[in-house]
Amino acid sequence: DAGITQSPRYKITETGRQVTLMCHQTWSHSYMFWYRQDLGHGLRLIYYSAAADITDKGEVPDGYVVSRSKTENFPLTLESATRSQTSVYFCASKDRVGVEASGYTFGSGTRLTVV
Amino acid sequence: AQSVTQLDSHVSVSEGTPVLLRCNYSSSYSPSLFWYVQHPNKGLQLLLKYTSAATLVKGINGFEAEFKKSETSFHLTKPSAHMSDAAEYFCVVSGTGGSQGNLIFGKGTKLSVKP
């Protein structure tokens, strides 16, 4: 399913470097989300966006920055990568909130290693 | 605030035997509940969702879940396990209020299926 695309799939970076993970969706969904997945924690919300130019913090936002200048893109930037940010990152989108809305759709993930 | 608790971190069954993955939730509102599956090194796939319609929800691949408000449970079941069911399963509740639209994940249950 090519509706939501994450890039890169794999990334190795050094401590202190800035790195940006990309997320692109083709449905014009209003909502977009970034999660990180770590053993023993499930998925935890980093940031989310309800629409272009509207973003808000999730459960674990420290060390991350997001932007949403266009509806279809929601990049996640690690300003100065740390080893604790080694994780698998998932982007998701959803058209609107409410029980009638369609389900959430997840990208395939980006496996980030900080060395 | 919403939360989910998956009662087992690991479940092991034999092929052809029933599967039961347990999930309890906490929510101040009438929740939307989901089960997602993640196969090794893959993204997340929606198995089924409950959105205040029928309390018994049927999903893909023969899985179903029953919403029990009195027990605040949303257990996932399948009558007969298949080897291809081996994966990690996440119980998820949709956030409300200020975090409306966010998904709150349980920590996951790893299902192993023995031949």
Q: How far apart are CA A29 and CA A47, in angstroms?
A: 16
Which residues in chain A have their CB less than 8 angstroms from residue B106's CB? 42
Q: Which pLDDT score is estimated for B2?
A: 80
For residue A89, the SS3 value is: strand
| A25, A29, B12, B45, B92 from B97: Cα distances, Å | 25, 20, 37, 25, 16
Residue of A nearest to B44 (CA): A106
- Does residue A54 sit at the B interface (CB-CB below 8 Å)? no
Q: Which pLDDT score is estimated for B25?
A: 93
Minimum mean pLDDT range among B8-12, B27-31, B63-67: B27-31
Q: Which pLDDT score is estimated for A99?
A: 47
Average confidence (pLDDT) over B10-25: 97
The tens digit of pLDDT for each residue in B68-111 reads: 999 999 999 999 999 999 999 999 988 665 445 678 899 999 99
Residue of A nearest to B43 (CA): A108
Which residues in chain A have their CB less than 8 angstroms from residue B46's CB? 103-104
- Does residue A1 sit at the B interface (CB-CB below 8 Å)? no
Average confidence (pLDDT) over A77-106: 83
Q: How far apart are CA A30 and CA B6, in angstroms?
A: 30
Task: Compute the C-alpha angle A63/A81/A53, nearest 5°.
Answer: 45
How many CB atoms lie under 10 A from the CB of residue B29? 12
Query: Which amino acid is it at B78?
Result: K
